[in-house]
Amino acid sequence: MAKSKFFCIAVEGATVDGREIKREWLEQMAASYDPKTYTARINCEHIAGYSPDAPFNAYGSVLALKTDTVELNINGEMKSLLGLFAEIEPNAQLIEMTKNDQKIFTSCEINPNFVGEGKAYLVGLAATDGPASLGTDRLKFAAMARPNVFTPAFSTAIDVVAEVDQGGIADAIRSGFAGMAAMFSRQDDKPKDPVTPPPAAANDNSFDIAAFSAAIGQQVAAAVQPAHDAIAAIRADFTALQGKLEATEDPHSFRRQPATGGGGNAAHLTDC
């Protein structure tokens, strides 16, 4: 990421909204600021980034602070005041935003009693269009030709995937194609052997299948034979029972008794 030149982010004295930036604050912040102790991140309009997505993400970090004298024209009178200057590492969003003439000034976030030590520390920096401090410089970013302008950013909290050696891949591809070409070249030089059809398989599958089918049939027949025998026995018993029932008279059925003969002249008496 690119890093900026030092530019003024605050000036001692009264602010436009009636507050005061003390000179000793600027001196203490310049003397004690260390990103390894606490990094002041850049936000938009003092809205601390709670999302990794714009516009509520962070826009970079403050790298270093120093103080220097600035000359300001206040109500027609030139005054020499102490200013706080910052070197920042902006991300691409902040650079693009300032190119569009948006949020081109800064506003400090100062903790006057950092970690209870009684000294001021810069804990944040906001990109804004309405700075409270006088004399803040407009944000300007430019890519210069010096090799130390752009520096790689590494973080121990992020696992970085090792880069693949592109040269090694290219060499491997070239070697592979060369080997394939040589292989085909050698094959073309050799006379082609006549194609011999594969020998036919022995035709013993039908025998195995027949034997297997016969064995299965025998096992199935043996398994169901008891059931067949039981059914045949039941059928025979039923037939025998049916014959007996048909030959047996019903004791409740009416049957006329045969007449008893007494000769041709015998008189038959009947009760009327």
Catalytic residues: 17, 46, 107
Question: Contact, 64 vs 86, CB < 8 A?
Answer: yes
Rounded Cα–Cα distance for residues 81 and 74 (Å):
11
173, 155, 177: which is closest to 165 by C-alpha? 173
Angstrom distances, CA of residue 186 to CA of 147, 172, 176, 179, 182: 52, 21, 15, 11, 6
- E strands of 51-155, at which residues? 60-74, 77-90, 105-111, 121-128
Q: Answer whether 84's CB lies under 8 Å from 108's CB.
A: yes
User: Could you give the C-alpha distances from 135 to 47, 79, 88, 178, in angstroms and in order?
Assistant: 23, 11, 18, 68
Which amino acid type is present at position 50? Y
From the centroid of its chain, how far is CA 53?
18
**Beta pairing, strands 121-128 & 60-74:** unpaired
Q: Cα separation of 160 and 121, whole Å?
A: 32
Residue whose tokens read 């948006």: 102
